[in-house]
Each structure stands twice: as C-alpha cells, then as structure tokens.
Structure 1
C-alpha cells in the first residue's frame, strides 16, 4: 500500500519533467527556457493556487474554520522564521536562507495528495476544508520571508549596493518601503489577491475558472517544472558548497515541522486524519508557489539549493517514510 503510493508519486509527470530538465542541463543540451515563458507560467500558477483555495474556503462557516485557520497561520509564521534562523546558523547566505525559509514554510501539493490517498486507502476520514488550508499556508510564509529579507536589507545591509538603495528610499515610520515591497510585490499580490477573489466569488465561479485553472493546471505545472529543472541544473555546482548541510536539513526539517504540525492539528480539534494532514502540510516543502515567488522576488537565491532540498531530499523522504510516520504520531496523540 505505502509502496504503491511511493511509486505513483515518484513517477508522477510533474516530478519526471523536473528530472528531464535536470538531465537536459547535465548533458548540456541546447534546450532553453525563454524567460518570458517562465514569468508567464509563474503568474498562472500563483493565480490558480490562490483562486481555487479561496473558492474551497468559501464553502465553510467562519465558526468551523477559526481554529484550523489560526493553526495554519501560526505554522506559516513559525516555520519560515525557525528555518531562516537555523540556515543562517549553518552559514547559508541571507538570500538562500530566505529561499529555503519560503520553500519550507509553503507546502507540496503532490505530497498532500499522496497523504490524501493514504488516508482514503486506510478509510480514515478527514475534514473537507483541509484542501483550502493548503493554499492558506502558501501566502504567509512567502510574505513573511520576503518581508524578513527587505527588513534585514534596511537594518543590516550586506554590501554597498544595499546601503545606497536604502539611502534612496525615503524614510518613514515602520519602514513603509519594506511593507510595500513585501505585501504588494507581484508574487504575493497575485496569490493573495486571487485567494480573496475566489473567497468572494464562491462556488458559483467554479465553472468559469475550471477550464483554465483546473483542467489545464497539471499540464502547465509540468512545463513549469521542466524550466525549474533546467534552471536548477545550471547551478548544481553551487550545491557542492553546502554538501552535507543540504541532506541534513532536508531530513531534519520535515521531521521537526511534521511533529509541530501534528500538535497544532490536535490543538485545533481535528480528527486523526485532519491532524495527520496538518502534520503533512507543515512537513512538506513547496516546489510550485514558493519557487515561483522566489524566482520573481528573490532571483539571487539559488534554485538548486531550495529546490534540491525540497524535491531531491524532503519530497522522497515524505513519500517513502514521512506520511506513515505522521499518521502513527497523529494516532498516538489523539
């Protein structure tokens, strides 16, 4: 059963297209990914994730969602901060630490889907609104990570260029420049704005968005991951600089955050299935929304580092071992 889930997800087209991009880069193929296409796909994915989550969340009462939403937002705040601090302690530079923080603060939809399949095969029920929490967990980590980066640039610039940039930004209370860049940057604006649109429009809007943002989503995701594979492969040499640290953190983070997520799920009053899914949300690392946002907002962060950790280490670990571990811990806590 678990082996079937593992094999199904490891040979999923999305992951295989990422691998194809890596291979193309390794063999020095002349395959190129136009920057305009990469930008367009990032915009599409951010809108699709946001609007679908908003529509799903609109179907539930506020009273029913208060604790789960609060728990999800708490994870979205805690995980990127803890991740950033640990990465800086392990001597990752600031921008790469931000990239890792956003990646692990966000979620892997494929891992979440594998967890749903696991629960369905076990005939374990779970709360239907957990699908909406997947989207809700994306934005806080991205917003907070970008905010931390701009805040640190202002408070503690790393080079002369950042000093000059700070001098050019007009001073105002509470660093209005940071807030503007963090809250209204294109990646955050698109995802949060689309989420609000879906929440307002509700289920009645689903037939209109389905042809573009649901039916085509998986296919466009494959093309996006092909480009990310090419991009990551071009910079794989940089991974050697970090070596063991990437492997260690890629295994440590999901175990740590999975347990934290399970305890928060239990505090929210979720069922065993819902508690386990909250753990999976916390333990997984994004390879869609966060990389798209980092590509747009923090292009200096090396994709081969945060994507190498999320897709190369954390993703297979969660599929092979993590999901069953989180399920048994959720049972034990409940």
Structure 2
C-alpha cells in the first residue's frame, strides 16, 4: 500500500510541472472551443529547433561516450521498436473490425518515436534535477527506423500473401506471388526497404536530429548550444505542448470514424509499450550501469508514438491505410497518454533503481 501511495504521489507532483501542465492546458483550451492557435510555420520552426537542440546535446555527449555504454541502450531501443510492432501485429491488427493494413500502420506509429514526447520527457527530468545520459537523443533513430521498417515490411508481406493465387499444374496446389519465391513466402524487397530508410532519414524530424548529432560529434558547437539552444528549450517546449494538447483534443473526433478498438489501443498501448521500454532499460542498467534517468527516457520513447516522421512515411509506404485510424489514434490518444505517463515511469525507476 505504501508503494502504491508513493507512486501516486510522485505522479501527482510531476503532473504539476510546467511541461505536463501546458499539455493539459492545451487540451482544456480546445475543449472550451478557444480560438487560440499557433501558425503552422511557427510550430514547425519550434519543432526543428527542439530537435536540433536534442541532437546537438546528444552529439556532444556521444563524442565522449563509451561505445559499449551507448551500444547496449541503442540495441534496447531497436528491440523495443520491433517488439512493439510485433505486439501490435498480434493484437490490434488481428481484430475483426480492424483492417490489417490500418492496424499495422497504427502499430508502426506506436513503435516509432515522438520527438516532442522525448523532448517533454527530457524537460520533466531536468525540472526534477534527475541525471541521464547525454547521448539519449542518439537512441531516437534506432527505435524509430526499426519500428517503421518492421511495420511496413510486415504489412507488405501480408498484402502479398492475399494477392497470392493458386496455380493449376500437376494437381498440386502451389502459391505464387509476384516478385517472390514459391510456397507463398514473399521475398523481402531490398529496394522497398532502402526507400523506407531514405524517406525516414529525409523526414524533417530525423534530418534535424541527425544533423544536430553530426555537428555535435564532429564540430565544436558548445558555445551556440549553451547560449542559444539551451536557454530557449523550455520556453519553446511549453508552446509546443499547448499546440499538441489542442491538436490531441481535435484529433479525438477522427476516432469516431474508426473502430472502438483504436480507442482502447490508444489508451492502453502507451503504458504497455512504456513498460517494455522500461524493462529493456533495466537490462541495460544491469549490463552497463545505464542511469535511472536513461531508463525513464527509454520508457518514454517506447510509450510515445510518432507524430512527425511516421505519418508521412506511412502515407508513402502504405497508401491503402486510413490516416484517420493511425494518425487519430496516435496524436489524439497515444501522445497525451505517453506524456502523462512519464511520472509513472519515474516512480517505477525510483522504486527499482533509485532516482
């Protein structure tokens, strides 16, 4: 009972911190029909600045990091992304009232990472004075790309199987699929996977993050980082949280067009996915001394769902999927639930590791 009270107390305290308070405030503004808005170019500019800040900080830290200390969390991040997609393929994508393609697109977004959610998690830990590895931002692409590629490849393989047709020959039924081997087992299209990787790296989110990483690793941006990016971080993030809160509320209306299963998935999946990330983070902690703050942020990344790089990637790779299903579930429910679950992961880290 004392443990439960401790976790609830930690969560309540963290919900009062600026980052989460602005998110809730944005949802309240939208619920009341407020006309408040941030122009789209300003919103995009804020996102790019935040990602450059995260990338620069990660690159500066990677320059001095132990490769083993970085490699194990990076592997954990990739495993988290793949595991989340496989779990979605076994649950949401198999439900009777859910299109398999829509389910896989949704699972892909939930396996990928929300840059804004990661930035929010970093801010919450900073506000609490909780230490974490500076290279944490470098884990973003590992989870993001692993999840998107896995989801798209599985969705395409399933679509190819449905197009398979029996070939009449010597009386033995065989299955052939265009561009694949026999027995109905589609060969992976290397060109398709290469296209996914290229499109993902060209997306604004990944491009800004990788650019920041590269500059942080191979240049000396400490002066501009400390004088410009670091002081602006929390102020810009508060505006972003307001926008995301309002957008999350408006996206809820899109969920009326799709099955109720998406509502249940959007409410529960972030917690389950976050616990997967938390568990893998604990393994990294045991193997390399990965910090409690790092474990929390890995859980936050796993709980998040892509809001920038994922949707355009899915639209290009899986045009058959319904954006109302995967974007509405991700932005309308997944993102706010993931951000608001940050205190839960902090409380768990305090219990199992000690913050």
Structure 1, unpaired ranges of 5+:
121-125, 159-171
Rounded to whole Å, the distance in 1 between the matches of 2:38 and 2:302 is: 21
Q: TM-score, normalised by structure 1?
A: 0.74
Q: Say which of 287, 291, 305 aligns to 1:267.
A: 287
Counterpart of 2:83 in structure 1 is 82
Does 2:346 correspond to 1:323?
yes
Does the aligned pair in 1 maintain the 2:78–2:147 contact within 8 Å? no
Counterpart of 2:20 in structure 1 is 15
Q: Say which of 131, 134, 150 aligns to 2:133.
A: 131
Q: Structure 1 47/157 Cα, relative in aligned 2: closer, same or farther at 3 Å? A: farther
Q: TM-score, normalised by structure 2?
A: 0.70
Structure 2, unpaired ranges of 5+:
1-5, 94-102, 161-188, 316-322
Q: Structure 1 280/111 Cα, relative in aligned 2: closer, same or farther at 3 Å? A: same
Does 2:234 correspond to 1:218?
yes
Q: Which runs of 4+ in 1 moved over 6 A?
A: 1-4, 104-107, 116-120, 286-289
Rounded to whole Å, the distance in 1 between the matches of 2:191 and 2:312 is: 25
Q: Say which of 327, 330, 345 aligns to 1:302.
A: 327
Q: Structure 1 34/316 Cα, relative in aligned 2: closer, same or farther at 3 Å? A: closer
Q: Structure 1 156/105 Cα, relative in aligned 2: closer, same or farther at 3 Å? A: farther
Further displaced range: 193-202 or 246-255: 246-255
Further displaced range: 219-228 or 294-303: 294-303
Rounded to whole Å, the distance in 1 between the matches of 2:39 and 2:49 is: 16
Counterpart of 2:113 in structure 1 is 103
Counterpart of 1:244 in structure 2 is 264
How big is each residue's C-alpha offset from its partner over 1:196-215, in whole Å with a ceiling of 9 and x where there is no partner?
Answer: 1111124xx21223232111
How big is each residue's C-alpha offset from its partner over 1:32-62, in whole Å with a ceiling of 9 and x where there is no partner?
Answer: 333222222222222111011111232x25x
How big is each residue's C-alpha offset from its partner over 1:54-110, in whole Å with a ceiling of 9 and x where there is no partner?
Answer: 11232x25xxx1222111111221111111121232225232222211138997455
How big is each residue's C-alpha offset from its partner over 1:172-200, in whole Å with a ceiling of 9 and x where there is no partner?
Answer: 95434233213333321221121011111
Q: Say which of 286, 292, 298 aligns to 1:276.
A: 292
Does the aligned pair in 2 maintain the 1:72–1:136 contact within 8 Å? no
Counterpart of 1:141 in structure 2 is 143
**Residues 147-226 of structure 1: matches in 2 within 5 Å?**
147-148=149-150, 151=153, 155=157, 174-175=191-192, 176-202=194-220, 205-226=221-242
Rounded to whole Å, the distance in 2 between the matches of 1:33 and 1:194 is: 25
Q: Say which of 38, 42, 60 aligns to 1:37.
A: 42
Counterpart of 2:278 in structure 1 is 258
Does the aligned pair in 2 maintain the 1:112–1:280 contact within 8 Å? no
Q: How well do the aligned residues superpose, as a CA RMSD in angstroms?
A: 3.6
Q: Structure 1 12/140 Cα, relative in aligned 2: closer, same or farther at 3 Å? A: same
Rounded to whole Å, the distance in 2 between the matches of 1:74 and 1:27 is: 44
Rounded to whole Å, the distance in 2 between the matches of 1:330 and 1:116 is: 18
